[in-house]
A = this chain, B = another copy of it.
Amino acid sequence: MSKGHLVVPKGADSEALPLSVLILNRGDGPRLLITAGCHGNELEGPIVARRLLDWLPQAQECGTVIIAPALNPPALEASSRNSPVDGLNLNRVFPGRADGSLSERIADAVSRVLLPMADTVFDLHGFGPGWECAPASTTHPIADADLMRKTLRMAEAFKLPVTLVWEGPDTGGMFDTLAQSQGKVFVCAELGSGTIGADALMIAETGVRNALIALGIVKGRAQHPAFRQQKSSLTLETRLSDWLNSPAHGIFEPRCSVLDKVKQGDLIGILHPWDLWLSNPVDIRARTTSIVCGVRSGGPVEINKEVALVARLLNT
């Protein structure tokens, strides 16, 4: 086991920035990169990555595991999605630039030094505060059918409550797109939402351990972690059109829970005017038969902002 730092060179906007990296080498076998802390308000990943240190060095049978638990230290210290240094979303600037701003230099260092060391990448995220979601291993759709199949199989090996193929906006600069363009299997684990409790961390850690078992890096038997008393996993897909948005600025009241099955017309939530009494609330209803994948926490919401994401069983 070697602990060290990947040093992101200094630039116009910051001093040199050391990123913690741990390398566990047990000879031939899979080469896995685990990254976390890309977004500074998603702490599930860094904590779960840290927990691997308690047992993986003893349990590892073969291969190489590289763990970078805190890709974006300034954003983590600020608890912000984007970097407080340059305002950028680290997951929109890959492959980065060696002479760019700090986020671009982090992406460049990760792309040039860490990514070539691995065949498979687990990038640990959370849906962030303000949402109720089921722990999920996710991928965007991939044009290469063979890589899509391998990626989906890897994602399902986490045995989290949801395996999700979701259509993302075509924003560019994402870490997964870069890794996939190099033929690598990339799973983005969305490990939680809202409060980060001991139960959620246990589910997330079990998911990563299941995936390590599937890769053959550790021995053992994969287990479905219990989520709301259910020990099962659904493979779902969403399109961009599966987002439900707020019809007005006001207070959102959720009326459904994650993994609820809904049919056309079922109540997803209610949008209340600010005064709560004098004007009428607006019902937000399901457009088709679907499964609730995520729902916004009750609270203030702007007009046209996402309040729920519904999904369908993936036809494989």
- By a beta-carbon cutoff of 8 Å, the part of chain A in contact with chain B is 3, 18, 20, 22, 43-44, 46-47, 49-51, 53, 69-70, 73, 76-77, 79, 129-132, 193-199, 201, 229, 251, 253-258, 272, 274-278, 281, 295, 297-300
Contact in complex: A79, B197 (CB < 8 Å): no
Contact of A295 among B44, B197, B255 (CB under 8 A): B197
Contact in complex: B298, A251 (CB < 8 Å): no
Contact in complex: B276, A49 (CB < 8 Å): yes
Nearest-Cβ distance from residue A73 to partner chain B, whole angstroms: 7
Contact in complex: B300, A79 (CB < 8 Å): yes
The 7 closest A-B pairs by CB, nearest first: A194-B195, A196-B298, A43-B299, A195-B297, A132-B197, A194-B194, A69-B276
Contact in complex: B198, A195 (CB < 8 Å): no
Contact in complex: B274, A76 (CB < 8 Å): yes
Residues of chain B within 8 A (CB-CB) of A251 are 43, 46-47, 76
A261 and B174 alpha carbons, distance in the complex (Å)? 44
Residues of chain B within 8 A (CB-CB) of A47 are 251, 253, 272, 298
Assuming A251-B46, A276-B20, is B257 touching A131 (CB within 8 A)? no
Nearest-Cβ distance from residue A275 to partner chain B, whole angstroms: 5
Contact of A70 among B20, B253, B276 (CB under 8 A): B276
Closest to A129 in B: B129
Contact in complex: A199, B257 (CB < 8 Å): yes
A193 and B3 alpha carbons, distance in the complex (Å)? 37
Contact in complex: B300, A77 (CB < 8 Å): yes
Assuming A70-B275, A76-B274, A276-B70, is B201 touching A43 (CB within 8 A)? no
A43 and B278 alpha carbons, distance in the complex (Å)? 18
Contact of A201 among B20, B76, B298 (CB under 8 A): B298
Closest to A69 in B: B276
A53 and B273 alpha carbons, distance in the complex (Å)? 14
A43 and B276 alpha carbons, distance in the complex (Å)? 12
Contact in complex: B298, A43 (CB < 8 Å): yes
Contact in complex: B77, A299 (CB < 8 Å): no
Contact in complex: B197, A195 (CB < 8 Å): no
A252 and B20 alpha carbons, distance in the complex (Å)? 18
Known: A20-B275, A43-B300, A193-B195. 13 other contacts (CB 8 A): A43-B298, A46-B276, A50-B276, A73-B274, A76-B251, A76-B300, A79-B300, A129-B194, A194-B194, A194-B297, A199-B257, A201-B254, A201-B298
A254 and B255 alpha carbons, distance in the complex (Å)? 29
27 contacts between A and B (CB under 8 A): A43-B299, A47-B253, A47-B298, A49-B276, A50-B253, A50-B276, A50-B277, A50-B281, A51-B253, A53-B277, A70-B274, A73-B274, A76-B300, A131-B195, A194-B297, A196-B254, A196-B297, A196-B298, A196-B299, A197-B258, A198-B256, A198-B295, A199-B257, A201-B253, A201-B254, A201-B298, A229-B229
